[in-house]
Amino acid sequence: MILVRRRAGGPPTGPARVARTRSHELSTGDRVLQWVSGVAATIPLAGLLFITIILVVWAIPAIIYSGFTVFTSDKFFIGSFYNPNFSSVNGIVAPYGASYGALTFIVGTLTSSLIALVLAVPISVGGVLMLSEWIPRRLEGPLSTFLELLAGIPSVVFGFWGLTVFGPFLGAHIFPALSHLGVILPFFKGSWAYNGQGLLTASLVLTLMIIPIIASTTRQLVKRVPVLASEGAMALGMTKYEMVRVVTIPYVRTGIIASALLGWGRALGETIAVLLIIGMANNPPVNIYGTTSTLASTIAADLDSAFSDGTGMAVRAMAMLGLLLLIMSLITNLTGRLVVRRISSEALPVGRGV
């Protein structure tokens, strides 16, 4: 069987080539369309480049001022603006006592998003497989719609709910029970804020926020598993569970990894919900319940006061945090692409090569 695929960016076929070579014959409408689509295609790339360049340029003085302490120090202090003295490092002048160690925020960002990812992937994948294989078909539609509606809830609403309802509930009823588990699982040991503010609550809310992202992608993938492949398993008398394990999961694995990384990216950059829930402490979390801050939430919370720094360095420090976040997102994104490319090279089509 020969599949005819048109490659993106390949040579234009027949009529398009004719139209392109005789551009002087194009109508006004065609010219306008050419321009509009050209501009539209350039904007995203230009946007990414522009933002990256601006961030780098703005961050450079803060990077020079801090050096490697950005990664090693958890002391982040934008300095006392009213002190007549200044701190000067490597020729960069900043308010007195200024220190831009970002370790707290790096740790906060990574832990909160990773906990969310670890919880969201099995819940999403398990839920989708449940919906597609075991739940009666007439319930599948409404339940899936409900799942996807979760994606439409604004993050500030998630934050508000987490701060006023979910956090206090966890603090009063769940965390006490969890901390008893500390006997078996040491990372559950420790004390928590009475209103539940802190790392674990933020992670749980992030989990809810990224479940729809992972679940909706996984659902599309599960629907695309070839019937012929599933029937092969059924014809051997395999149970649904065995079929899912032997056929469905290998087929959707690549896509799940890709969607998990997409969800991780969302969790890394989530700002307002985390800001409201994580407690915004200027230190790494003391335990799994501990208050801390993330890169995104710190920028949102501190940028306003950073502008009152007469030396301008505080804003540059914020740009540096933004740059760190951008780099993290790019790394997860690129890693995801690499993983997907490597795995999908073990192609899985049914009936191919015939």
Residue ranges binding another protein (CB under 8 A): 1, 137, 226, 228-229, 231-239, 242, 246-247, 250-251, 346-354
Collapsing DSSP to helix, strand or coil, 136 comes out as: coil
Q: Which is nearer to another protein, 208 or 229 (CB)?
A: 229
Q: Which is nearer to another protein, 66 or 132 (CB)?
A: 132
- Exposure string for 95-117, b = 16+ CB within 10 A, e = fewer: beebbbbbbbbbbbbbbbbebbb
Q: Which is nearer to another protein, 250 or 312 (CB)?
A: 250
Q: Which is nearer to another protein, 178 or 222 (CB)?
A: 222
* Single-letter code of the amino acid located at 56: V
State the minimum distance, in angstroms, from the CB of residue 345 to another protein.
10
Q: Strands 76-77 and 86-89, how do they pair? A: unpaired
State the minimum distance, in angstroms, from the CB of residue 60 to another protein.
49
Rounded Cα–Cα distance for residues 351 and 337 (Å) = 26
State the minimum distance, in angstroms, from the CB of residue 348 to another protein.
4
State the minimum distance, in angstroms, from the CB of residue 92 to another protein.
56
DSSP string of 163-216?
A: IIIIHHHIIIIIHHHHHHGGGTSGGG-S---TT--SHHHHHHHHHHHHHHHHHH
State the minimum distance, in angstroms, from the CB of residue 222 to another protein.
14
Q: Which is nearer to another protein, 67 or 141 (CB)?
A: 141
State the minimum distance, in angstroms, from the CB of residue 249 to another protein.
9
Structural element, H or E, at residue 328: helix 313-344
Q: Which is nearer to another protein, 232 or 284 (CB)?
A: 232
- Closest listed residue to residue 284, CA positions, set 116, 105, 158: 105
- The answer to whether 279 and 198 have CB atoms below 8 angstroms apart is yes
Residues 6+ apart with CB under 8 A from 69: 99, 100, 101
Residues 6+ apart with CB under 8 A from 168: 194, 195, 196
State the minimum distance, in angstroms, from the CB of residue 316 to another protein.
51
Q: Which is nearer to another protein, 75 or 245 (CB)?
A: 245
* Single-letter code of the amino acid located at 335: T
| Backbone Cα Rg of the chain | 26
Q: Which is nearer to another protein, 25 or 346 (CB)?
A: 346
DSSP string of 262-304?
A: HHHHHHHH--HHHHHHSB--SS--SSTT--B--HHHHHHHHHH
State the minimum distance, in angstroms, from the CB of residue 237 to another protein.
3
Rounded Cα–Cα distance for residues 52 and 58 (Å) = 10
Collapsing DSSP to helix, strand or coil, 71 comes out as: helix
Q: Which is nearer to another protein, 181 or 236 (CB)?
A: 236
State the minimum distance, in angstroms, from the CB of residue 344 to another protein.
12
